[in-house]
Each structure stands twice: as structure tokens, then as C-alpha cells.
Structure 1
């Protein structure tokens, strides 16, 4: 049986949480990508799990979306020690 590593779980949580916060704030991929200096395709690759988000990228996205970084990291980080 294959189990995901903590890094994989956190990465998946970040992808889901970024998508959710983008939807809440009605931010398009194109607009967010442009604000980060990326192409829409670069952001899409991260949102779809082909490329992991870096800590710096998560912080920049949190700033753009005006949410705490912890919101994007989600509960996976809190459960990491469990």
C-alpha cells in the first residue's frame, strides 16, 4: 500500500487551498500569475501538482490574496507532528 509523504500531503493541501482562496476572491489564474511575474501556464502547472509551490511562492500568493500563509498551508501543517 502506497502512502503519501508529508511533503506530498502538504503540497496537495496548498494546491487545494490556493484554488479555494482564488475562487473566494474571484482571482483568475491569469491575474494571479501576472502579479507573480509568471505565465498562466506556470501557475497552472503548480495548481495541478506538476511543479510544487515554494515557500516564497506561497507567501507571495498569500499576500496577493490577502490571507495568512497558514490559510494556504492548511491543516496538514498542524497535523504534521501527529
Structure 2
């Protein structure tokens, strides 16, 4: 509710390319990931699938460091260890 009051997101003007990009990200990519997650649960079980959710942030931080040359701080290492 505060975002609607402070940022007023409904006043944004978006063009057709942005709408198509949002639809593609929302439908196709999310659908594919959801389908793969269900296949993982079916083939390997819910325990392994739940563990895979803990790996996603670690991979994201490492990819940011390797590809985007982002800085790694001590808090990142602490988060990875936790």
C-alpha cells in the first residue's frame, strides 16, 4: 500500500515492447521454471527440491561476481556459509 501512495506506479507509461517483455517473463519463463520444479519433485522427491531453493541465492551471488564483476563483501560470505 505504501508503494502505491509514495511511488504512484499506476502513473507510469510503458510501451508495447515493455508489455511484451513482462508477459514473456511472467508466463513463459515462470511457467518453465514451475514445470521443471514439479518434475524435480516428481523424480527426486520434495527433500532435494527444497534443498535446491537454498542453492539459488549462492549461484546468483557467484554469477554476479564472475560475470558482472560485482564486489564480494564479508556479509556475502557469511550469508553463503549460513
TM-score (structure 1 length as normaliser): 0.33
Tell me the TM-score normalised to structure 2 length. Answer: 0.33
- Which structure is larger by alpha-carbon Rg, 1 or 2? 2
Higher relative contact order (CA 8 A, sep 6+): 1
